[in-house]
Every structure is written in C-alpha cells, then in structure tokens.
C-alpha cells in the first residue's frame, strides 16, 4: 500500500500536517502574542518577579524561625570539636621534617643494606660497616626521638643477633 504514494505526495502531506500542527499550537498557547503581532504592537515584557502560586499562602515562612531546632542542636561527629582560634596550635616544622624525611630516609637505607646483605651473604661485620655510612650521611639521626623505633626495625629484620649495647653503639 505504501508503494502507491510517491515521495512528492509524502512530503506535501507532511508539510500540510506540520503547518496545521504549528497553527494549532500558536493559536492555543500564543494567542495574546499573535494578536499583538497582527495589530503591530510590540509584545509585552514579562516582569522579573516570580509568578504567584495558588499554594503560596499555605506555606510557612521558615526564614523567621529561631536558631534552636525542634529536636535540638545536632551532635558533632566523633572526634570533632570546636575550639577558639587562640587554642589552635600546629606542630613544630622541624619535627615534621624529621618524622617525614629523616627517619623514613634512614629506614629506606637500612632496608637497602639488608637487601645487599641478603644478596651477597653478608654478615654482622658487613652490616656494621654499611650502617656507619648511613650514620655519616644522616648525622642528626643520633639525636632523634625515633631512634628506638629504628633500632626495633633493625632487630626485627636482621638475620644475625645484635645486643642492646651494639645497637646503642650504632648511633
């Protein structure tokens, strides 16, 4: 059945139906603007204020409510507190540099020493020689507050026995 229609007939039908559709939309929704256009008057400008709504009078205005909420103030998350500005203190930058830089660098060098000792079957004497190089590279480590943690790391990773006196003599 569709083979009986030509393209020309199809396009004419679509154009006519489209014109009817747009004419109906303009007449239904844009009647005032169409009358103003046909009379030669400029269209009215819409105001910037919002339109009135039929439900607007039934809505409570919450802007005048007091700060106290119906159920009380909300609880702060655990571990959060409000303090005054003068109570706020930051850590010493030198301490932060030591914790983030110096100690981690020393531990990385000690890890490297243990790796070298494992690959070359090193012994306690080799470890003592290599740790002296680390001590010379980081002279501030001997006065560090993290020295017990470094010594504990050495004890837990060393493949040989180190006495507490030997650990004290390292630094």
> By CB neighbour count within 10 A (0-12 exposed, 13-18 middle, 19+ buried), where does 127 fall?
buried
Q: Which residue has the higher pLDDT, 23 or 98?
A: 23
Percent of the chain clearing pLDDT 70 (strictly above): 83
Across 106-128, average pLDDT: 86
CB 113 within 8 A of CB 158: no
Predicted TM-score (pTM) of the model is 0.41
Across 112-132, average pLDDT: 86
* Model confidence pLDDT, tens digit, residues 59-110: 666 565 555 666 777 788 888 888 888 877 776 655 555 556 778 888 888 8
Across 25-35, average pLDDT: 92
pLDDT at 165: 82
CA distances from 108 to 38, 39, 93, 156 (A): 86, 88, 22, 15
pLDDT at 119: 86
**Cα separation of 113 and 131, whole Å?**
8
Is 80 exceeded by the pLDDT of residue 143? no
pLDDT at 99: 55
Rg over alpha carbons for the chain, rounded to the nearest Å, is 42
* Model confidence pLDDT, tens digit, residues 154-167: 888 887 888 878 87
């Amino acid at each position: 059945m569709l083979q009986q229609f030509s393209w020309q007939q199809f396009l004419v039908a679509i154009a006519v139906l489209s014109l009817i559709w747009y004419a109906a939309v303009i007449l239904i929704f844009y009647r005032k603007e169409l009358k103003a256009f046909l009379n030669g008057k400029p269209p009215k400008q819409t105001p910037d204020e919002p339109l009135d709504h039929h439900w607007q009078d039934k809505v409570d205005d919450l802007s005048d409510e007091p700060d106290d909420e119906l159920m009380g103030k909300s609880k702060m998350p655990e571990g959060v507190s409000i303090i005054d500005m003068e109570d706020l203190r930051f850590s010493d930058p030198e301490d932060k540099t030591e914790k983030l830089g110096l100690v981690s660098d020393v531990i990385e060098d000690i890890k490297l020493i243990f790796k070298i000792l494992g690959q070359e079957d090193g012994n306690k004497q080799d470890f003592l020689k290599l740790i002296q190089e680390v001590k010379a590279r980081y002279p501030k480590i001997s006065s560090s507050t993290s020295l017990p943690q470094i010594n504990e790391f050495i004890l837990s990773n060393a493949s040989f026995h180190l006495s507490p006196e030997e650990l004290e003599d390292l630094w």
